[in-house]
Amino acid sequence: MTFKIFSKCDKSSDWFAYVRVGLYFVTKSGDRENFCDIHFYGIPEDVMNLRRGTFSGPTDSVKQVTRLNRSLAAQERYFRDGAVNSDLDIQNGGWVEAMWDAKQKVQDVWLLGPLEFFGTAYGSLVARLQGWQDSKSTYQSKVDYSLPDKELEKQLHTPKLQRFRLIPPKAWNHKFLPARLMGSTYSEGVTPLPTDKAEKTKPSMAQALGSARHHLSPAVLPKDIVKIAWKVEDFGDQLFQCETYERHG
């Protein structure tokens, strides 16, 4: 099954971009095992600062994700019992929200749950990527702005006359960098709820995760795993939107 959001995609405009980050277990002997992939996709000016995306099992594409939003029942089960059903295992996927921590100079990538991570239930997991650098982008235009409005409108919707390119930073050179994996009780996904039931105004994602960030604790790692590493596995631009949903490890 492919979610509608990923099946009804743009097949006409090749001005989309894609970035995939791999998360790895590291054993005492130094062996690495990919346990989760994080996908960012969209037009380059959005992708270059990586905010909203999707996580999946290792080597899976976005189209292979079997879980995105969490049901109210799943949220209540976690809140009430601290339990998560096996269908919400980390490898089945979900939404991602990335936030730059200026104080610690790390990129916090929130894997929004509730989810199960090797037998342990979490509201969300946070992959804290050290050494992160945002990309830059360029814009090249061959649009003739002297044309009449109708002709100009056509050119503005012709990708071949406008090119957005990603300029990858040095951190995107496919080398492994250190990461930490933290657990959070935040379990509201992309729809934060007011902290006070009497309050009608919902906080923004930045406000909700900014508050939850102060209550993180180290995630429980599987036996024989001593640390976590990350690297940029793949990136590209001048892609059709459908292609960004199909790329995988």
In three-state form (DSSP H/G/I as H, E/B as E, the rest C), the secondary structure along 99-165 is EEECCCCEEEEEEEEEEEECCEEEEEEEEEEECCCCCEEEEEECCCCCCCHHHHHHHHCCHHHEEEE
Distances (CA, A) of 46 to 57, 137, 233, 236: 24, 10, 19, 13
Provide the b/e sequence for 146-158 (b: ≥16 CB within 10 Å).
Answer: eeeeeeeeebeee
What is residue 101's three-state secondary structure?
strand
pLDDT in tens, 120-169: 999 999 999 999 988 888 888 899 999 999 999 999 888 788 888 888 88
Q: Give the pLDDT confidence score for residue 180 in this predicted structure.
A: 97
Q: State how far the Cα of 177 lies from the Cα of 129, in Å rounded to an integer.
A: 8
pLDDT in tens, 182-229: 999 999 999 998 876 667 788 999 999 999 999 999 999 999 999 999
| pTM for the full predicted model | 0.91
pLDDT in tens, 97-121: 999 988 888 899 999 999 999 999 9
Radius of gyration, alpha carbons of the chain: 20
Quick one: average pLDDT of 52-68? 96
Q: Give the pLDDT confidence score for residue 198 in this predicted structure.
A: 63
Quick one: average pLDDT of 1-27? 91
Residue 90: is its pLDDT beyond 80? yes
Domain regions of the chain by residue span: 4-246
Residue whose tokens read 């209550």: 215
Q: Give the pLDDT confidence score for residue 197 in this predicted structure.
A: 63
Residue 46: is its pLDDT beyond 90? no
Q: Give the pLDDT confidence score for residue 174 in this predicted structure.
A: 83
Quick one: average pLDDT of 79-87? 96
Here the tokens at position 109 are: 């990538």
Residue whose tokens read 């006070």: 196
Q: Give the pLDDT confidence score for residue 104 in this predicted structure.
A: 81
Q: Give the pLDDT confidence score for residue 51 in this predicted structure.
A: 83
Give the pLDDT band of residue 48 (cuts 50, 70, 90). low
Q: Give the pLDDT confidence score for residue 135 in this predicted structure.
A: 86
Q: Give the pLDDT confidence score for residue 171 in this predicted structure.
A: 80
Q: State how far the Cα of 122 lies from the Cα of 187, in Å rounded to an integer.
A: 8
Q: Give the pLDDT confidence score for residue 167 in this predicted structure.
A: 87
Q: Give the pLDDT confidence score for residue 49 in this predicted structure.
A: 65
Q: Give the pLDDT confidence score for residue 160 in this predicted structure.
A: 83
Q: Give the pLDDT confidence score for residue 164 in this predicted structure.
A: 81
Q: Give the pLDDT confidence score for residue 116 in this predicted structure.
A: 98
For the chain, what is the mean pLDDT?
92
